[in-house]
Amino acid sequence: MSALNILDCTFRDGGYYNSWDFSPTLIQSYLEAMKAAQVDIVELGFRFIKNAGFKGACAFTTDAFVRTLSIPEGLTVGVMLNGADLLTDIGLVPSLEKLFPETTATTPVQLVRFACHYHEFERVLPAVGWLSDRGYRVGFNLMQISDRTQEEIRNYARKALDWPVEVLYFADSMGGMTPDDVSRVIEWIRTEWEGPIGVHTHDNMGLALQNTLCAQAEGANWLDATVTGMGRGPGNARIEELAIEAEAIRGRKANLVPLLTLIRKYFRPLKELYGWGSNPYYYLSGKYGIHPTYVQEMLGDARYNEEDILAVIERLREEGGKKFSTDRLSNARNFYAAAPHGTWAPARLIAGREVLILGTGPGVAAHRPALEAYIRRAKPLVLALNTQSAIDPELIDLRAACHPVRLMADVEAHTLLPQPLITPASMLPDNLKAALAGKELLDFGLGVEPGIFTFHDTHCVAPTSLVLAYALAVAVSGKATRILMAGFDGYPAGDPRNDEINGFLSLYTQDAQQAKIVSISPTSYKALPSISIYGI
């Protein structure tokens, strides 16, 4: 069997977290740590052809940039190229000429790896010949391998034989493979390809290292990893662990001290900041073949709470989410994109009355005696959000809920709570409708459209699917005389959910025709007028 090649691609795959902007000091310490840990190859970044928005040096990894580094003797330097970047109107050869102005007679870069989807690889393969003629060693990497059939994988290996490909890689880009899947892929490649095989894994299901080692046991001898696993989504196999395994495979000791120091000084703080590493959301994305960037984006955006993330994953699972798109993510978050419809008109219960909406913030429990006294005295119609139960249940008339995952999580509680539940019943998924069978539902429809807040007899259109907007719409549709709110304390300063809530509250309050809203318990929402429960 040919020698083992350990390839670290931290800056290339980890750059998805920090726009490939690593400090020169970090990069230099990294190079020394890699050498000491007996890593053979460092892939220092991508060579992107497009230059839009700021990205750091490791997005372009130019010859000039690599020359600013002191590369330890014996460490091979590589870069990665997205195959798709060669398939534009510019043309394959002009793109290559732009990206690789030097031959290996002068550049410090020796290895180029291509990252390709199946539908691209045949058109990209000729680039291997072009680079090889200029002295480069070339690896070819097929992404999203778990979606490919045996025949496709064999075709990939067969076609690669026509070009001077040094190593044929496969990537478990979605991180959903098991060691059995890895063995099967290698077996299929081997029916056509006798040369070196490489593996690049992702850790969605916590199997990245295990899959890498399984590939090695099955004959792959180019193994990828990254420092602390820093890489897209949950990240990759961790180099610090692979280096330990490599010591045993090669029967020679490595010096891990510089790598462990590098982790303590630089990578642990970065991991705290960006939060890669497997978690249940990535696990689900791996299990259902959903592109990890969906989860990475949602985890980095405080507008998505646990329910939202689970709901989006479920939606992408049903509708497909192999390719990341920002539009698709916002659509998946919007459970109420369809034309809104309902059958219940809130005016039947609400017209001419004051409504008190009870949120889930701590202000309700904190001011419970005053709130209860007011309800007994002034007799507003009391509408509680979700399962809010901080006051005497006898004093709550109705409940409102509209988030499908929150509803599913609360089904049991709702079936035990005595109040009718206002919800877009006829728009809910079938499994949820079935779970709520037997509960008295008041079917008020909800449509979500940015910048719109309109109120109709049996439905509304709101700028967000937050239950607060929905409950407010119910009260307005019902022609409430005044809307009091309690338990809308607000999120900590800097939390973007405050902006989302302030945004739709301002949209509402700009319209002088609408019923007045006022918070009667403490609130930090700037767009919500506020008075005290103790003075009314």
Ligand X SMILES: C[C@H](O)CC(=O)C(=O)O
**Nearest distance from C-beta of residue 490 to ligand X, angstroms:** 40
> How far apart are alpha carbons 355 and 330 in whole angstroms?
32
Residues 352-371 touching ligand X, rule: CB under 6 A, are: none
Cβ proximity to ligand X: between 177 and 474 the closer is 177
Among 115, 313, 462, 473, binds ligand X (CB under 6 A): 115
Q: How is residue 505 written in tokens?
A: 């509250």
Cβ proximity to ligand X: between 143 and 182 the closer is 143
Q: Let me know: does 39 contact 243? Beta carbons within 8 Å.
A: yes
For residue 425, the 8-state DSSP code is G
Residues 216-245 touching ligand X, rule: CB under 6 A, are: 232
Phi/psi at 208 (5° precision): -60, -50
Instruction: State the pairing for strand pair 41-46/5-8.
Output: parallel
**Nearest distance from C-beta of residue 272 to ligand X, angstroms:** 23
b/e per residue, 306-339, with b = 16+ CB within 10 A? Answer: eebbbbbbbbbeeeebeebeeebbeebbbbbeee
Instruction: State the pairing for strand pair 41-46/354-358.
Output: unpaired
> How far apart are alpha carbons 292 and 56 in whole angstroms?
22
Q: Which amino acid is at 238?
A: R
CA 470 → CA 201, 302, 462, 508, distances in Å?
Answer: 43, 20, 7, 12
The size of the interface with ligand X (CB under 6 A), counted in residues, is: 9
Residues 480-519 touching ligand X, rule: CB under 6 A, are: none
Q: How is residue 110 written in tokens?
A: 């020796």
**Nearest distance from C-beta of residue 202 to ligand X, angstroms:** 6
Three-state secondary structure call for residue 482: strand
**Nearest distance from C-beta of residue 64 to ligand X, angstroms:** 24
262: left (phi over 0), alpha (psi -120 to 50) or beta: alpha
Cβ proximity to ligand X: between 55 and 232 the closer is 232
Binding status of residue 148 toward ligand X by CB under 6 A: no
Q: Let me know: does 126 contact 163? Beta carbons within 8 Å.
A: yes
**Nearest distance from C-beta of residue 214 to ligand X, angstroms:** 17
Cβ proximity to ligand X: between 145 and 436 the closer is 145
Q: Let me know: does 406 contact 386? Beta carbons within 8 Å.
A: yes
Cβ proximity to ligand X: between 205 and 441 the closer is 205
Three-state secondary structure call for residue 448: strand
> How far apart are alpha carbons 520 and 530 in whole angstroms?
6
**Nearest distance from C-beta of residue 81 to ligand X, angstroms:** 10
Binding status of residue 13 toward ligand X by CB under 6 A: yes
Closest-approach residue to ligand X (CB):
173
Phi/psi at 526 (5° precision): -70, -30
Binding status of residue 141 toward ligand X by CB under 6 A: yes
Cβ proximity to ligand X: between 292 and 522 the closer is 292
List of E strands, 177-259: 197-200, 222-225
Cβ proximity to ligand X: between 55 and 200 the closer is 200
**Nearest distance from C-beta of residue 14 to ligand X, angstroms:** 10
**Nearest distance from C-beta of residue 289 to ligand X, angstroms:** 13
Among 35, 47, 137, 202, binds ligand X (CB under 6 A): 202
Cβ proximity to ligand X: between 175 and 380 the closer is 175
Binding status of residue 391 toward ligand X by CB under 6 A: no
* One character per residue 21-60, x = contact with ligand X (rule: CB under 6 A): ----------------------------------------
Binding status of residue 200 toward ligand X by CB under 6 A: yes
Cβ proximity to ligand X: between 202 and 271 the closer is 202
**Nearest distance from C-beta of residue 117 to ligand X, angstroms:** 9
Among 57, 96, 131, 143, binds ligand X (CB under 6 A): 143
**Nearest distance from C-beta of residue 141 to ligand X, angstroms:** 4
Cβ proximity to ligand X: between 43 and 489 the closer is 43
Phi/psi at 499 (5° precision): -65, -40
Q: By CB neighbour count within 10 A (0-12 exposed, 13-18 middle, 19+ buried), where does 91 fall?
A: exposed
Per CB under 6 A, residues contacting ligand X are: 13, 115, 141, 143, 171, 173, 200, 202, 232
